[in-house]
Amino acid sequence: MKSAFVIVNYNDSKTVLELIDNIKDYKIIDKIVIVDNASTDNSLEILKKLENDLIVVLKNESNKGYGSGINVGSKYLKSIYNDCNIIVSNPDIIIEKEEDLKSLLNKMDNKDVSVISPVIKEKDNLNRGWKIPTPTIDALMNLPVIHKVLNKSLLCYKDYYYNKELVNVEVVSGSFFIIKLKSLELAEYFDENIFLYYEENVLASKLKKLNLKTYVDTTVSVIHNHSVTINKSIKRLNKFKILKTSQKYFEYNYNNPNILEKLLLKITYYISLLVQELIYVIESK
């Protein structure tokens, strides 16, 4: 089966160029699709110069978010291949050797595998997927300090869970994963009502309802220079508000919270927003 990258860019051509330089000679890749999400700088002009038989650059007429960009690239691949393995990657990903990517793609031949992710190294953290949160847990995750404890104890799988090569998880990071195009089609692509964040939980919820499996390959890793791309474009307070807007959309549209859970989500949201605004005021002085 063909295998193709989809990379979404917004005002960050320099980082995209670094990733392209990393992967352009990999024989295992059939196509690299770069989707420019209506950049306001000269990114599109710079990236268009890369186009050749391997690399295509698509222009998204408006920036509807990360998921929208992935959808544009995926639907283009549908038009030329009908089916393929889609390697979704943030620009700030480093793949250390082609054999790692080849190992992941070989496992996509397994009919039981719809999505696969490597272990993603993020500074001192190993991102190996997580569980879809319940509304109550997601609400409590809004609380400062407490969210770190809850994330580790309730959302993350225990270390001993990763005791074999392929491990079934509910959610993997959107920064780098491979998905079968047919599986993405069945899930009706990414929900474009979400601009950024929570797209992983939404996609995972869709796949779970379809009984399509997601795995982490514990023998392969990539490096993620976490949030470099996002932080170049979005200030922290704005980023926080986008995160919480996406959280609310996910909960109300995919997680079916009851009345008490909706109330808890609302209360903890305002607490977390107040804390973030206080931090913003203090840091602005």
Nearest CA among 267, 238, 262 for reference residue 251: 262
More confident residue, 72 or 273: 72
pLDDT category at 14 given cuts 50, 70, 90 is: very high
What total of structural domains would you count in the chain?
A: 1
Range list of β-strands (E), the chain: 3-9, 31-36, 55-59, 85-89, 93-94, 113-122, 125-127, 166-169, 176-180, 213-224
Question: What would the mean pLDDT of 99-110 be, rounded to a whole number?
Answer: 97
Closest by Cα among 225, 236, 231, 220 to 273: 236
Distance between CA atoms of 195 and 103, rounded to whole angstroms? 32
Give me the domain span that covers residue 53: 3-284
Give me the CATH number covering residue 113. Answer: 3.90.550.10
Mean per-residue pLDDT for 162-188? 97
Output the CA–CA distances (angstroms, integers) from residue 163 to 74, 99, 120, 132, 158, in the order listed: 33, 22, 17, 21, 10
pLDDT in tens, 180-238: 999 999 999 999 999 989 999 999 999 999 999 999 999 999 999 865 555 555 577 78
Q: Mean pLDDT lowest for which of 13-27, 105-119, 231-245?
A: 231-245
* CB-based contact 35:5 (threshold 8 Å): no
The model's pLDDT over 30-59, given as tens digits with 9 standing for 90+, comes to 999 999 999 999 999 999 999 999 999 999
C-alpha to C-alpha distances, 206 to 67, 90, 214, 250, nearest whole angstrom: 14, 22, 12, 11
* Joined tokens for residue 45: 């002009």
Q: Is the pLDDT of residue 87 over 60?
A: yes
